[in-house]
């Protein structure tokens, strides 16, 4: 009998349809570092927090990943998470990128926890340096201008912070002379040389400043009173230095020294500039200082004697707030009017010296999505919000339009008037025109974690504000009054839910605080609240559509059910994952979908208390899901945008089998390879589309381009005669074939031997 039951369950769970997955954005990325090719202004590199490194060969207009061989998080490394990691992504955060000035084929990437990776072919492949400590946290990288074999790198380290390579970065050894003895740790914050003499090098470590005058052979302590976050040497000599300084009392203060770093004073004289996050100099000697509290860029053309300021204005307004805080700042070494800024939201570019900035993110699918809202009348319209901003799609996720840079926690859409939506971030805003414009309803300066609209009384809005506060409005959000705010305890409001059977019944859960969490209930629409139970750190609440007594709760490590209105709970599932993220009621009262932060999504049969993983090639770091149609779902991911799963479940609520969507096009091979006179490429096209085909040198120089042409489905043969533009003979070497449809780039390595 048990075998028969098992067979029936297996048969039901494998009653399948054909399943497909697509991921077309939204575009966005947490940019942590930027570098420019010193010989080609069109080539830009952008490091991210967890997605690896993006490259652009058209001055930032489009981007593609170059992660082949780039180190990933490994569970064997000290302090490293097991993949897939929710917080860190697949790759170590890229803290710094350096391109060798004499040979831009060599690129170095400093990694937070992964040491140094270097490439000899402009990022098409990577390998690791050796000699650094396990899980080295690289903070800064310096290449000697006259001797690129001599390299220094700084670490965030307890023991020693400065390491040196004399073989171009393949191997490193510790520099024991450079060590902070003030008790503030050995974090190397900057390495700079005198512009006219690269043998004179300054290193900031902890609260100490060191100087070498013999190309890093020996070192002397210059100052041990301040912490220097960033150094800028003015002019040709080592006398005048600007610095971003931690004084011990104030952070990120602008100061200067006129005696080579021994004594320091506030700069500009008679003023006090703090909250400085960037200081740079362009090829004309103009100095740029970014004051984050003002969101302004201050520029001096006379070595700091006078200053003009410019607000950081982008095509989405001012670059302000956490989601757009500046992480990296690059003035083009080719044209000082071109400036790149890396932020939590993405990468911005100015071509007019900082007067205004335009977001350049085409191809960067590295958005961290917290919530999705779907228009119930037109499910092809959906909104996605997260740490990089807010987006809208009107074509079922085939493309996304960015609406804002705000750091979105939750989205509530009025089902009666689906062009009306409420967005919670560090403020509460409202749109009545589908996201074209927003009005401010509430600003607290603190995180607003939740916003929920009553399903029947759409004038009733509840909002969760950190810490431990619920506000409610009875007039569409125009006036918000405090509904809940305890005298003690600090926690985050998580998932406010209104009953579907009782208009006055509402619940909310709490999470974030391991010592103070639980489930709260009001039976009078928020006039009074009671903590009724403590199921754990609440991630999602699901209320029955037929019974006000049935409550489901998804906590961080299990799924529970209550039959008495949340007073007592019974665990239903506790072996899915220890990192649960959301729960969705699917079919009737017997089937649900659950998402996890590291294992993807699961379908739950509440009758049999069995579960099965939903297969597919979607990213498993899921934060939320929303229904698109009866069998289709939007999946929000933490670092990989939004995935749309078609035929995820059958009409009776069981998982369907995955079907991998073929690429729109692929490069099959070229033959012969290597070749001497000519070679032919095979390109497979699965759907008719326009393709651009180019051949590049390994340094990024365009060798040959083919006219953009529409290709029908099938295999196409393209021949290259080994000649460059205007039939110029080219030398033996490695070349790169690039094929693009305007959104996706594919590459293939070709070897020419003569």
Q: 18-23 and 657-658 as β-strands: parallel, antiparallel, unpaired?
A: parallel
Q: Which residues contact 249 (CB under 8 A, 6 or more apart)?
A: none
Does the pLDDT value for residue 314 go beyond 90? Answer: no
Q: To which residue do tokens 């509530």 refer? A: 412
Question: How far apart are alpha carbons 655 and 673 in whole angstroms?
Answer: 44
Q: What is the mean pLDDT of residues 586-612?
A: 85
pLDDT at 104 over 60: yes
* Cα–Cα dist 677/403, whole Å: 52
Find out whether 576 and 602 touch, Cβ atoms under 8 Å: yes
Is the model's pLDDT at 611 over the cut of 50?
yes
Residue with tokens 């700079």: 192
pLDDT, greater one: 670 or 502: 502
pLDDT score of 4 more than 60: no
Of 336 and 159, which is predicted with more confidence? 336
Res 2: pLDDT: 34
**Greatest mean pLDDT range, 70-79, 169-178, 737-746:** 169-178
**Digit-coded pLDDT (tens) for 261-285:** 999 999 988 888 888 888 999 988 8
Q: Are strands 714-720 and 679-685 parallel, antiparallel or unpaired?
A: antiparallel
pLDDT greater than 50 at residue 324: no
Alpha carbons 492 and 472: distance in angstroms, whole number: 16
All residues at 6 or more sequence positions from 183 whose CB lies less than 8 Å from its CB, including other chains? none
CA 374 to each of CA 384, 414, 633: distance values in angstroms, whole numbers, following the listed order = 9, 10, 10
Confidence class for position 669, pLDDT limits 50, 70, 90: confident
For the entire predicted model, the pTM comes to: 0.82
Reported for 572-579, long-range contacts at CB under 8 A and 24+ positions apart, including other chains, are 572/604, 572/606, 572/609, 573/604, 573/609, 573/611, 576/602, 576/611, 579/86
- The side-by-side arrangement of strands in the sheet containing 241-246 is 227-233, 241-246, 253-257, 265-266
Residue 484: pLDDT band by 50, 70, 90 thresholds?
very high
Q: Tokens standing for 236?
A: 């040709």
User: H or E element: which one contains 12?
Assistant: helix 2-13
pLDDT tier at 659, thresholds 50, 70, 90: very low
* Top-confidence residue, 9 or 390: 390
Q: Is the model's pLDDT at 661 over the cut of 80?
A: no
Q: pLDDT of 421-448, one tens digit each?
A: 999 988 999 999 999 999 999 998 888 9
Instruction: Return the DSSP state at 112.
Output: B
CB atoms within 10 A of CB 625: 24
Structure tokens at 2: 């048990």
Instruction: Name the 3-class secondary structure at 11.
Output: helix
Q: What confidence category does residue 577 fall into, taking pLDDT thresholds of 50, 70 and 90?
A: confident
Distance, in Å, from the CA atom of 272 to the CA atom of 250, rounded to the nearest integer, reads: 11
Average of pLDDT values for 475-486? 94
> What local confidence, expressed as pLDDT, does residue 654 receive?
53
pLDDT of residue 655: 56
- Whether 684 contacts 691, CB under 8 Å: no
Give the percent of the chain with pLDDT over 70.
90
Cis peptide before 31 (omega within 30 of 0): no
Q: How confident is the model at residue 293 (pLDDT cuts 50, 70, 90)?
A: confident
What integer pLDDT is reported at residue 322 of this predicted model?
Answer: 42
Query: Does pLDDT of 184 surpass 70?
Result: no
Q: Which of 125-134, 338-347, 553-562, 584-593 has the lowest mean pLDDT?
A: 584-593
What average pLDDT is seen over the chain? 85
- State yes or no: pLDDT of 73 exceeds 80: no
- In angstroms, the CA 682 to CA 4 distance is 52
- CA diameter of the chain: 90
Q: Measured at the alpha carbon of residue 157, what is the angle toward residues 153 and 161, in degrees to the nearest 5?
A: 40
Positions of E strands within 144-266: 151-157, 162-165, 173-174, 186-194, 197-205, 208-212, 220-223, 227-233, 241-246, 253-257, 265-266
Q: What is the pLDDT of residue 164?
A: 95
- Backbone φ and ψ for 324, nearest 5 degrees, come out as -125, 20
Q: Is the pLDDT of residue 386 over 90?
A: yes
pLDDT digit string, tens, across residues 717-733: 888 888 887 778 888 88
Reading the block at residue 345, the tokens are: 């939201």
Mean pLDDT of the region 503-510:
95
CA distance 730 to 752: 9
Residue 171 in tokens: 């191997």
Q: Report the distance separating Cα 383 and Cα 394, nearest Å.
A: 9
Distances in Å between the Cα of 318 and the Cα atoms of 321, 386, 447, 475 are 9, 18, 20, 30
Share of the chain above pLDDT 90, in %: 47
**Structural domains of the chain in order of their starting residue, each with its CATH number:** 27-176 (2.130.10.10), 369-658 (2.130.10.10), 665-752 (2.60.40.1930)
d(CA 739, CA 471): 53
467: tokens are: 């810490």
Confidence of residue 375 (pLDDT cuts 50, 70, 90): very high
Cis, peptide link before residue 674, omega less than 30° from 0: yes
Q: Confidence class of residue 355 from pLDDT cuts 50, 70 and 90?
A: confident
Find, among 225, 355, 195, the residue nearest to 288 by Cα. Answer: 355
Taking the CA atoms of 389, 392, 395 and 397 in sequence, report the sign of the dihedral they define. positive
Does the structure show a pLDDT above 60 at 12? Answer: no
Q: How many residues does the chain have?
A: 754
- How far separated are the first and last CA of the chain, in Å rounded? 74
Residue closest to 351 by CA, chosen among 41, 48, 113, 141: 41
Question: Cα dist. 221→173, 204, 207, 646 in Å?
Answer: 20, 10, 11, 64
Residue 47: pLDDT over 60: yes
Helix (H, G, I), strand (E, B) or coil at 264: coil
Give the residue carrying structure tokens 């995955």. Answer: 658
Q: Are 539 and 494 in contact (CB under 8 A)?
A: yes
More confident residue, 312 or 426: 426
94-99: strand order across its sheet: 94-99, 107-111, 115-119, 127-128
pLDDT reading at 51 higher than 70: yes
Instruction: Give long-range contacts, CB 8 A cutoff, 24+ apart: 168-175.
Output: 168/106, 169/106, 169/108, 169/116, 169/118, 169/129, 170/118, 170/129, 170/130, 171/129, 171/130, 171/131, 172/116, 172/129, 172/130, 172/131, 172/132, 173/131, 175/216, 175/219
């Amino acid at each position: 009998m048990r075998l028969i039951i098992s067979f029936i369950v297996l048969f039901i769970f494998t009653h399948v349809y054909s399943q497909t997955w697509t991921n077309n954005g939204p575009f966005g990325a947490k940019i942590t570092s930027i570098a420019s090719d010193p010989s080609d202004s069109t080539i830009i590199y952008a490091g991210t927090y967890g997605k690896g490194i993006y490259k652009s060969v058209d001055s930032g207009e489009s981007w593609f990943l170059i992660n082949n061989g780039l180190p990933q998080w490994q569970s064997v490394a000290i302090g490293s998470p097991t993949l897939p990691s929710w917080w860190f992504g697949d790759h170590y955060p890229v803290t710094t990128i350096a391109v060798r000035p004499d040979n831009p084929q060599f690129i170095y990437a400093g990694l937070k926890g992964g040491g140094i990776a270097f490439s000899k072919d402009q990022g098409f492949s990577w390998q690791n340096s050796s000699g650094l400590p396990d899980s080295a946290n690289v903070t800064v990288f310096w290449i000697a201008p006259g001797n690129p074999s001599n390299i220094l790198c700084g670490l965030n380290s307890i023991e020693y912070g400065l390491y040196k390579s004399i073989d171009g970065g393949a191997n490193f050894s510790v520099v024991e002379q450079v060590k902070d003895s003030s008790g503030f740790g050995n974090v190397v914050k900057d390495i700079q040389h005198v512009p006219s003499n690269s043998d004179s090098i300054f290193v900031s470590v902890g609260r100490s400043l060191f100087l070498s005058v013999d190309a890093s052979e020996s070192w002397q302590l210059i100052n041990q009173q301040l912490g220097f976050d960033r150094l800028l040497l003015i002019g040709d000599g080592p006398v005048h230095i600007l610095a971003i300084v931690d004084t011990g009392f104030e952070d990120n203060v602008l100061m200067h020294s006129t005696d080579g770093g021994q004594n320091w004073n506030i700069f500009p004289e008679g003023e006090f500039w703090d909250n400085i996050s960037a200081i740079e100099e362009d090829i004309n000697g103009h100095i740029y200082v970014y004051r984050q509290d003002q969101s302004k860029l201050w520029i001096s053309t006379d070595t700091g004697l006078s200053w003009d300021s410019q607000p950081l204005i982008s095509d989405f307004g001012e670059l302000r707030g956490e989601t757009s805080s500046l992480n990296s700042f690059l003035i083009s070494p080719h044209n000082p009017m071109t400036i790149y800024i890396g932020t939590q939201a993405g990468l911005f570019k100015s071509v007019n010296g900082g007067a205004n900035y335009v977001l350049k993110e085409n191809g960067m699918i590295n958005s961290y999505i917290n919530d999705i809202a779907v228009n119930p009348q037109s499910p092809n319209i959906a909104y996605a919000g997260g740490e990089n901003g807010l987006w809208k799609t009107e074509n079922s996720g085939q493309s996304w339009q960015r609406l804002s840079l705000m750091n979105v926690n939750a989205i509530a859409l009025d089902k009666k008037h689906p062009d009306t939506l409420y967005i919670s971030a560090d403020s509460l805003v409202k749109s009545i025109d589908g996201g074209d414009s927003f009005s401010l309803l509430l600003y607290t300066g603190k995180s607003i974690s939740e916003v929920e609209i009553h399903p029947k009384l759409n004038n009733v809005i509840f909002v969760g504000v950190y810490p431990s506060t619920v506000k409610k409005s009875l007039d569409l959000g125009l006036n918000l009054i405090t509904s809940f705010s305890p005298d003690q305890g600090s926690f985050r409001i998580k998932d406010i839910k209104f009953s579907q059977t009782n208009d006055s019944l509402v619940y909310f859960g709490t999470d974030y605080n391991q010592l103070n969490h639980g489930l709260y209930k009001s039976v009078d629409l928020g006039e009074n609240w009671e903590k009724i139970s403590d199921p754990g750190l609440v991630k999602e609440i699901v209320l029955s559509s037929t019974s006000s007594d049935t409550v489901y709760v998804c906590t961080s490590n299990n799924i529970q059910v209550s039959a008495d209105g949340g007073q007592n709970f019974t665990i239903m599932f506790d072996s899915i994952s220890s990192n649960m993220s959301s729960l969705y009621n699917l079919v009737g009262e017997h089937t649900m979908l659950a998402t996890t932060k590291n294992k993807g999504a699961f379908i739950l049969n509440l009758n049999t208390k069995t579960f099965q993983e939903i297969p597919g090639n979607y990213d498993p770091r899921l934060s939320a899901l929303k229904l698109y149609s009866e069998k289709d779902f939007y999946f929000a991911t933490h670092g990989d945008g939004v995935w749309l799963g078609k035929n995820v479940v059958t009409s009776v609520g069981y998982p369907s089998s995955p079907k991998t969507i073929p690429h729109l096009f692929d490069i099959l091979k070229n033959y012969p390879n290597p070749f001497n006179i000519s070679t032919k490429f095979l390109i497979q096209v699965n759907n008719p589309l326009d393709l651009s085909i180019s051949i590049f040198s390994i340094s990024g120089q365009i060798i040959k381009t083919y006219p953009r042409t529409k290709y029908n489905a099938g295999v196409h043969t393209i021949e290259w005669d080994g000649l460059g533009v205007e039939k110029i003979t080219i030398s033996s070497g490695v070349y790169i074939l690039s094929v693009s449809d305007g959104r996706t780039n594919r590459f293939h390595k070709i070897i020419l031997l003569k």
